[in-house]
Amino acid sequence: AQKVTQAQTEISVVEKEDVTLDCVYETRDTTYYLFWYKQPPSGELVFLIRRNSFDEQNEISGRYSWNFQKSTSSFNFTITASQVVDSAVYFCALSEGAGGGNKLTFGTGTQLKVEL
């Protein structure tokens, strides 16, 4: 069964600090997809990134970067020089294999608070 663990319930930082959100996953499949979503106070789920299990290259998008390590089953997310607008709940999620019977399993989320 697939499982996603986000051990950090809540993180508070001061603006401009770097922050890393941890994500550990469990799956028996060799083909799977990992995701990060942002949920701002307005409530919608904003897609940030998708990674497939065969691509371990790290990814950078502006102030956001992701570190995917299959050896430790982790897919961590770093925000560099955090801003108040980054305050949100961040979800890591896993989808096994490919096909119509799949589902997205979410971690419990990490509430990030960025203060001035």
Partner 1 sequence: DTAVSQTPKYLVTQMGNDKSIKCEQNLGHDTMYWYKQDSKKFLKIMFSYNNKELIINETVPNRFSPKSPDKAHLNLHINSLELGDSAVYFCASSQEGISYTFGSGTRLTVV
The site for partner 1 (CB under 8 A) is made up of 33, 35, 37, 39, 43-45, 47, 50, 52, 89, 91, 95-106, 108-109, 111
Nearest to partner 1 of 12, 72 (CB atom): 12
The least distance separating partner 1 from the CB of residue 4, rounded to whole angstroms, comes to: 10
Specify the 3-state DSSP secondary structure of 116: coil
Task: Give me the phi and psi of 70, to 5 degrees please.
Answer: -65, -30
The least distance separating partner 1 from the CB of residue 22, rounded to whole angstroms, comes to: 17
96 CB-side CA count, 13 A = 12
Q: Which residues pair with 37 in a beta bridge?
A: 47, 91
The least distance separating partner 1 from the CB of residue 16, rounded to whole angstroms, comes to: 26
Nearest to partner 1 of 8, 102 (CB atom): 102
In order, the DSSP letters of 25-71 are EE-S-SSEEEEEEEE-TT---EEEEEEETT----EEETTEEEEEEGG
Nearest to partner 1 of 17, 29 (CB atom): 29
The least distance separating partner 1 from the CB of residue 69, rounded to whole angstroms, comes to: 21
- DSSP class of residue 18? -
Nearest to partner 1 of 1, 116 (CB atom): 1
